[in-house]
Amino acid sequence: MSAMHHDGTLPHPRFDGDPRVPHQAGRPPLPVTRRSPAARPPTATGRPRGTEPLTVADLRARGIGRAEAARRCRPGGPWQMPFPGVHVPHSGPIDHPERLRAALRWAGGRPGEVLFGGLTALELHDPEPLAGHAEHDPRSAPPPPITLVVSHTRRLRAPAGVLLLRTRHLPRPVWIDGLPVVPVARAVADAVAPGPGGADGDPAAVRALMTAALIGGHCTARELAREVERFPRDRRRGPARALEESCAAARAFAQDSLREVVRAVVGAPPREDPSAAAGDAPIAEPLWNVELRAAGEAPAAVDAHWPGEGVALVLDTRECSTGTALLPETSHTPRCSPLTEAEETAGYTRRREALERSGVTVVHLTPRGLREAPDLQAVVIRTALTDALDRPPGRYVTVLPR
């Protein structure tokens, strides 16, 4: 029989250090693959080494039979069995990371054949902005089930605490803390899909989840649209409309972020050098959401424009666009074919070139830049306005409200 620790736990045969506990002296930390460069640190559980969930095959390899494992899992014993055939070799509370690994060991299969999906995946990707929209109160209700995405060919019967989503299209996993997770767009689609594990048809919950994913830059609108297209045709309209409304909310949020950045520039002298800025007037408030027209050029819509300096701001919101327009519920006007990503890019390019031919300096901004480096965007805008003071005036441009 294999040697045991004094608390009834088994020594782990594969790892020299547990990735869930702080770095131990003399042992290099295990590599952790994450999607985001600003990765969250591993959860510290405080468990001793050797408490990873063990399957019946693991126990058999250690010389422990079913009867002995069952004896250790009795009430008051040193072990627990959170899922059928999976043993946790300690008697303390089972924390969330342990439940996740136990569920994964229960499902079995080769690496990448079982993935965490739905709200479970969203919590792993980014727990506060995403899964926070579906928080539960542990005092009034048990924790939500762990969502696992498996192939439709797997013959599994989910135990209590596990929700199985069967699919013919198993996505490539994103590895977070050593756990296989579906991409964010797929996780959102699983969480809002009609049926078990979905948002139960609550339009507000669906919009909130999609909006949080778009505003946070976790995925693009087109990625979400491709996942929504996989829904049954008779259940697709509600999520599709919620996605368009979420896109509008994400664009509005990006425009508000742009106004905050511009607000930091307005009122200050365009030149930072006090001696050079002595004769310069402070930067004025721009004209917001206007259309610029020059002779011989197509009209070009911009988000902000300084007529005196000839500087325009264009907010590139392609990541918040599905290429379609939102129509009223009562509208019977047929939708035109959605724009492809290449067609949208070509439209931005044509607009910028038309403005530059008219002598307008175009500052191209993105929601990601405003979200991750707002101070840098303010410097870019200030630099464009400063350079405009030394540039000859361009062509006459008519400014119209949008």
% of the chain with per-residue pLDDT over 90: 38
So what's the pLDDT on residue 339?
A: 79
Residue with tokens 């013959």: 155
So what's the pLDDT on residue 29?
A: 33
Q: Which residue has the higher pLDDT, 126 or 101?
A: 101
How crowded is residue 105: how many other Cβ atoms within 10 Å of its Cβ?
Answer: 21
- What does the pLDDT average to over 108-129? 86
In what side-by-side order are the strands of the sheet with 54-55?
54-55, 86-88, 80-83
Residue 402 has pLDDT above 60, yes or no: yes
Residue 378 has pLDDT above 80, yes or no: yes
Q: Considering only 81-95, 97-111, 231-245, 312-326, which range has the smallest mean pLDDT?
A: 312-326
**What are the φ and ψ backbone dihedral angles of 74, each rounded to 5 degrees?**
-65, 160
Q: Considering only 34-43, 79-88, 135-144, 361-370, which range has the smallest mean pLDDT?
A: 34-43
Hey, which bits of 76-235 come out as E strands? 80-83, 86-88, 114-116, 146-151, 162-167, 174-176, 179-181
Selection from 152, 79, 164 nearest residue 118 by Cα: 164
pTM, two decimals, is: 0.75
Q: Which residue has the higher pLDDT, 381 or 297?
A: 381
- Per-residue confidence band for 3, with pLDDT thresholds at 50, 70 and 90: very low
User: What digits encode the pLDDT tens for the residues 245-304?
Assistant: 999 999 999 999 999 999 999 876 655 555 544 445 688 899 999 999 887 777 889 999
Q: Considering only 175-189, 213-227, 337-351, which range has the smallest mean pLDDT?
A: 337-351
Domain ranges of the chain: 1-93, 94-245, 270-401
DSSP state of 193: S
Q: Considering only 281-285, 329-333, 381-385, which range has the smallest mean pLDDT?
A: 329-333
So what's the pLDDT on residue 38?
A: 35
How crowded is residue 106: how many other Cβ atoms within 10 Å of its Cβ?
Answer: 22
Residue 178 has pLDDT above 70, yes or no: yes
Q: Considering only 187-196, 275-284, 313-322, which range has the smallest mean pLDDT?
A: 275-284
Q: Considering only 47-61, 88-102, 142-156, which range has the smallest mean pLDDT?
A: 47-61
- Per-residue confidence band for 358, with pLDDT thresholds at 50, 70 and 90: confident
- Per-residue confidence band for 329, with pLDDT thresholds at 50, 70 and 90: very low
Residue 52 has pLDDT above 80, yes or no: yes
201, 205, 210, 216: CA torsion to nearest 10: -170
